[in-house]
Structure 1
Amino acid sequence: MSESVVDRVLAVLGSTLGTQAITIVFTPLLVRLLGVGAYGEYAFILSVLSVSVVVVSAGTFDSARKFIAEQRETENWREHVFGFYARVVIVLGAIVGILFIVATQLGVVALVLNPAYEPYFYVLALLVPLQAGFKLSRSVLMGLDLESSSEPLYVLQQLLFALLALTLVWLGWSVVGALIGRLLAYLCVVVFMLVFIWRKIDMSEVVKIAPASFPRRNLLSYNVLTVVFKLLVTSLYNVDIILLGLLVGSTATGSYRAALVIAQFLWLIPTAVQVGLLHSTSRLWSDGENARISILSSRAARFTLLFTLLLVLGVAALAEPLVSLYFGEGFSRTPETVLYLLPGVLGLAVARPIFATSQGHGNLRPVLLATGSAAILNVVLNLVLIPRYGVTGAAIATSAGYGSMVVFHIRAAQTLGFNPAADLRLSRTMATAALTAIPIFGLSWLLEGIIQLIAVPPIGFVVYTILAFRTHAIELSEVRPLVRSETIRTLGQVLPQQIVSLFQRSLEVALGSRI
């Protein structure tokens, strides 16, 4: 990958690692304060929130980045794109918020769910449009190449949310407190984001109606298709939770949600690559650089597969002690559920950079067909397996739905004119994983408790890295853009020299040469 793309990916990765680190600390505390049952209610409401935000955001997180990054010669292009999408979010947010309030007032929420859920929907009426506004503001900053501002603010939002939510839940506000904490955190950070946007673009032009020549139809068409795409992807993440909440109960839903939390930690790198690639490849598509796109997407898919496969091995070997330490008692079935989810999590991880590149093309029809096929498979399997097998059925169905994404999206990519599997080096990657599995699973069997969690990950990482270079699953020349990137150079200046030297020596051992 080129150094500019690497810097964008690393900036997003930094924020993703930061937010996930906060989540790792925050989640077990929240679970213990809420209890399994209330955590199941909270998980259900988060699924409703996710689907609602997709509708209100109207695809603006992807669309704003794509069109602002294209930097067209039209006068005040960036201002008009921001203003257009802001009006869309405001209108849809108001509609959804009013619908939630009306549904609660008329007793629909109490009838379909439970009277205890009514306060949650009042908070959602404000939270949904605010979260959609946050996503749009972050997207605009990224489209303006201001990841250095958007990503630290993303981390700040997560930190504020964790502190406020835990405080309110501890004070006895339970699930409502967690939702209010999320709302207040978004409110604070959106204000900061708008200040940074105001410094870069003319806000007086943003509030003006765009001229007749502005391609509203083009932007809106892309948005509608993006919303459909996002809804399909969101259904993959939430259909299982919603069906479990309705058919099985909050305790089982809470246990299943815990498994998803652990499994989805594996998407750190894939998510960063996905977010960084969309607006980067949009510029390449607009310049007609199809050959470069094929090389970039194929390499990104291989890097994602390599990294995620290592995490899959580690989580598979350490699922039981990890769940026991992280969530505590009451989650005895969670480790088994995690194991069922891992194959699908790996497949969806590899699919992420592929469909991000496809989105940058602009023709979303193949992307929708691929995602729709996976979503239909996921829904059908969940409907068939959950009534019969409960949580286990949900995990098997969801894993199959996740995993099918990589197959469908490779075919969609080929339709659009690039081949993300051209340089996947699957046999070499599998050989690396198979050889590394021996020490990882061997050590996890020999060791017990916390010692497993301390010793296995670093040893597994070192062995896997050395083998990846020795089998040529990854090459030295492919690492150089990462090492030479501006983000890494800055990090090298901040970290203690001993750590930098240790990192360099480790690379030399792995590569057998100097970088």
Structure 2
Amino acid sequence: MKGTENLFRRFLSLVSAKVIATGIAVLSTPVIVRLLGPSGYGDYAVLLSIFSLYMIPISGTITEGVQKFVGEGRNRDGWTEAVVRFYFLIGVGVVLVGALILLVVTLAGLPGRLFAPAFDRYVLLLVPFVIVSQIRAFGTHTVLGFGFEHLSGPLSVLKKFGTVAVGIALVLAGHGVAGMLVGHVVANLLVAVLAVTIVLRQLSLRTLLSPPALPYRKLMSFNVVNVGLVLLGMSLYHVDLVMLRALTDSQTTGFYKAALAMAEYLWFVPIVVQQLLLHSTSALWADDEVDAISELSSRVTRQILLLVVLLAVGLATLAPRVMRLYYGAPFVVATQPLLILLPGTIAFAAARPLKAIAQGSGQVLILLAAIGAAATVNIVMNAILIPRYGMVGAAVATSVGYSSMLAFTLLAAHRIGFNPLADFRPGRIILTAAVTAVPVLSLDYVIESNLLALTVVPPVGALVYTVTAVATGALDPAEIRPVLDRLPDPIDDLLTRGLEYVARS
């Protein structure tokens, strides 16, 4: 199918990089938390949320647009150069305006009055962060549009590594939260230079300077609606932090952010799939291959849920041990909000790839209505529950908001014309999780040592879960064949024969 050639190989290029980047985050986060402390970590988390929300109308004008329209690969001379030039000029203009507004607001002292005096200095550092992040976003999304997942992945790893390396070094030098923000600026600048260099090497300079005309109305319409999509979508996992910090204190926000970050680790594969499917399915939509899109979305939805449910079962079981060892004893209080967040996290994981497929169709107004409904549920519930129940209320509201995102996205998919539930198998997935929970909970109960439990429980749970999934029919042996093929013989052959036997039994 056009647009999905070597999809698994391209997925592995991105997911392997995402695993490395997530590994860097896993190793660096407890260091950052301990260096900044609960209050400093809470302020750092809020600043990143403010930055992410502020970047939506700035980067939302270019990111998905340049990735989608470059990815469509129109058979027309100069199309790619025209798209790249169009989005680059828009991106530069918007980011200069955005940086100027942020500078004026900061010099007026508004951040310090809203949160704390130190926020005036912190938000001032967001000005260069906004500029370099815009250039980096343009470059990396264009690289994805070209189908260069093997290059995009290493760039994301470099960004993560550069951020934590420079940031932690500056924190150790005594610069605290400001040091971490400078780490982001330096890493984004480096990746921006490399990504733009890759893009320029794929283009004709002469055509870039004098590109053919484009259907500007279509591109601008996509851009405007996409800003709304990104704004509403990002609000689902940033509004709670900002509201919690404004209504409570930095320490409570730090504890809640720890729970939120731990739950979001479950998204590392869904995020990669979402990135891959936007430009891959755009070509399928352009060729009107609706049946292929339904088949792909259905399989992806089921496989994503299977993976995330496995991770959630393990994390829910080991949550108190994980929070104590990973963040430190004071953060054990974040266990309750973490457990509350997990059901919504599972639902949102399934919604992510569906959002990309729906977005690739170009029928973004339907998707905008769906995400808007979920964002409204999230904001209203946070406004009601945070003042009364603090971080527990934020967790309940956010989990419900995440869950509503899946429900509304499924309705949008139906309206757009593809069916992601054709091969869902919900009963078999639930049965697989229930069977796996028995040995996982039992092992956790009998093992006293935290380190031993974290060493033994995950691999045993993964083995039981995989075998059970094949036995119940939640997963077909052929679906994991591409993964097994990458294992050395005779392990590959033994596992394949074993799973095929389980499936026949």
Quick check: 1:266–1:311 contact (8 Å CA) kept in 2?
A: yes
Quick check: 1:308–1:349 contact (8 Å CA) kept in 2?
A: yes
Q: Which residue of 1 aligns with 2:465?
A: 464
Q: Which residue of 1 aligns with 2:364?
A: 364
Q: Which residue of 1 aligns with 2:451?
A: 450
Q: Which residue of 2 aligns with 1:134?
A: 136
Deviation at 1:190, TM superposition (A): 1.2
Q: Which residue of 2 aligns with 1:323?
A: 323
Partner deviation per Cα, 1:316-363 (whole Å, 9 max, x = no partner): 000000011110132121111110000000000011111111011001
Whichever residue aligns with residue 242 of structure 1, its letter is V
Whichever residue aligns with residue 283 of structure 1, its letter is A
Structure 1 residues 87-236: aligned runs within 5 Å:
87-206=89-208, 208=209, 210-211=211-212, 213-236=213-236
Q: Which residue of 2 aligns with 1:269?
A: 269
Do the aligned partners of residues 380 and 76 (structure 1) sit closer, same or farther apart at CA in structure 2, a change above 3 Å counting?
same
Inter-partner Cα distance in structure 2 for 1:504 and 1:45 = 50
Q: Tell me which of 72, 77, 86 is aligned to 2:79.
A: 77
Deviates more, 1:424-433 or 1:470-479: 470-479
Deviation at 1:108, TM superposition (A): 1.9
Inter-partner Cα distance in structure 1 for 2:496 and 2:54 = 45
Inter-partner Cα distance in structure 2 for 1:324 and 1:18 = 24
Inter-partner Cα distance in structure 2 for 1:292 and 1:394 = 39
Inter-partner Cα distance in structure 2 for 1:446 and 1:178 = 41
Q: CA RMSD in A?
A: 1.7
Inter-partner Cα distance in structure 2 for 1:209 and 1:223 = 23
Deviation at 1:59, TM superposition (A): 4.2
Whichever residue aligns with residue 510 of structure 1, its letter is L
Quick check: 1:10–1:272 contact (8 Å CA) kept in 2?
A: no
Partner deviation per Cα, 1:442-474 (whole Å, 9 max, x = no partner): 111111211110000000000000011111111
Structure 1 residues 292-441: aligned runs within 5 Å:
292-441=292-441
Deviation at 1:16, TM superposition (A): 1.2
Structure 2, unpaired ranges of 5+: none
Deviates more, 1:429-438 or 1:472-481: 472-481
Do the aligned partners of residues 262 and 452 (structure 1) sit closer, same or farther apart at CA in structure 2, a change above 3 Å counting?
same
Instruction: State the secondary structure of the residue aligned to 2:43.
Output: helix
Do the aligned partners of residues 73 and 364 (structure 1) sit closer, same or farther apart at CA in structure 2, a change above 3 Å counting?
same
Inter-partner Cα distance in structure 2 for 1:503 and 1:388 = 54
Inter-partner Cα distance in structure 2 for 1:385 and 1:150 = 40
Deviates more, 1:303-312 or 1:1-10: 1-10
Instruction: State the secondary structure of the residue aligned to 2:469.
Output: helix
Regions of 4+ moved over 6 Å: none
Structure 1, unpaired ranges of 5+: none
Quick check: 1:16–1:268 contact (8 Å CA) kept in 2?
A: yes
Partner deviation per Cα, 1:236-263 (whole Å, 9 max, x = no partner): 0101000011001100000000001100
Whichever residue aligns with residue 465 of structure 2, its letter is Y
Deviation at 1:504, TM superposition (A): 4.5
Instruction: State the secondary structure of the residue aligned to 2:331.
Output: coil
Quick check: 1:6–1:482 contact (8 Å CA) kept in 2?
A: no
Whichever residue aligns with residue 294 of structure 1, its letter is S
Inter-partner Cα distance in structure 2 for 1:204 and 1:52 = 35
Q: Among all aligned residue pairs of Structure 1 and Structure 2, give the percentage whose two residues are the same amino acid.
A: 37
Quick check: 2:467–2:502 contact (8 Å CA) kept in 1?
A: no
Q: Which residue of 2 aligns with 1:479?
A: 480
Q: Tell me which of 24, 27, 37 is aligned to 2:26.
A: 24
Quick check: 1:9–1:277 contact (8 Å CA) kept in 2?
A: no
Quick check: 1:169–1:177 contact (8 Å CA) kept in 2?
A: yes
Inter-partner Cα distance in structure 2 for 1:376 and 1:414 = 21
Q: Which residue of 2 aligns with 1:505?
A: 494
Partner deviation per Cα, 1:366-402 (whole Å, 9 max, x = no partner): 1111111110000000000000000000000000000
Q: Which residue of 1 aligns with 2:54?
A: 52
Instruction: State the secondary structure of the residue aligned to 1:421.
Output: coil
Partner deviation per Cα, 1:158-190 (whole Å, 9 max, x = no partner): 111111000000000101100001100111111
Deviation at 1:204, TM superposition (A): 4.7
Instruction: State the secondary structure of the residue aligned to 1:214.
Output: coil
Partner deviation per Cα, 1:244-293 (whole Å, 9 max, x = no partner): 11001100000000001100000011111111111111100001111111
Q: Which residue of 1 aligns with 2:67?
A: 65
Q: Which residue of 2 aligns with 1:5?
A: 7
Deviation at 1:503, TM superposition (A): 4.8
Quick check: 2:72–2:283 contact (8 Å CA) kept in 1?
A: yes
TM-score by length of 2: 0.96
Quick check: 1:53–1:129 contact (8 Å CA) kept in 2?
A: no
Partner deviation per Cα, 1:430-449 (whole Å, 9 max, x = no partner): 11111011011111111121
Partner deviation per Cα, 1:42-89 (whole Å, 9 max, x = no partner): 011000111122221124222211110111123211111111111111
Inter-partner Cα distance in structure 2 for 1:255 and 1:504 = 46
Quick check: 2:136–2:193 contact (8 Å CA) kept in 1?
A: no
Inter-partner Cα distance in structure 2 for 1:328 and 1:188 = 33
Partner deviation per Cα, 1:414-439 (whole Å, 9 max, x = no partner): 11111101110001111111101101
Inter-partner Cα distance in structure 1 for 2:241 and 2:210 = 41
Aligned residue pair count: 500
Q: Which residue of 2 aligns with 1:38?
A: 40
Whichever residue aligns with residue 132 of structure 2, its letter is L
Whichever residue aligns with residue 451 of structure 1, its letter is L
Inter-partner Cα distance in structure 2 for 1:194 and 1:369 = 34
Inter-partner Cα distance in structure 1 for 2:280 and 2:150 = 16
Inter-partner Cα distance in structure 2 for 1:3 and 1:443 = 43
Whichever residue aligns with residue 358 of structure 1, its letter is A
Deviation at 1:509, TM superposition (A): 2.4
Inter-partner Cα distance in structure 1 for 2:496 and 2:391 = 43
Query: Does residue 238 in structure 1 map to residue 238 in structure 2?
Result: yes
Inter-partner Cα distance in structure 1 for 2:79 and 2:403 = 39
Quick check: 2:432–2:469 contact (8 Å CA) kept in 1?
A: yes
Whichever residue aligns with residue 241 of structure 1, its letter is L
Quick check: 2:385–2:394 contact (8 Å CA) kept in 1?
A: yes
Whichever residue aligns with residue 453 of structure 2, its letter is Q
Deviation at 1:501, TM superposition (A): 3.8
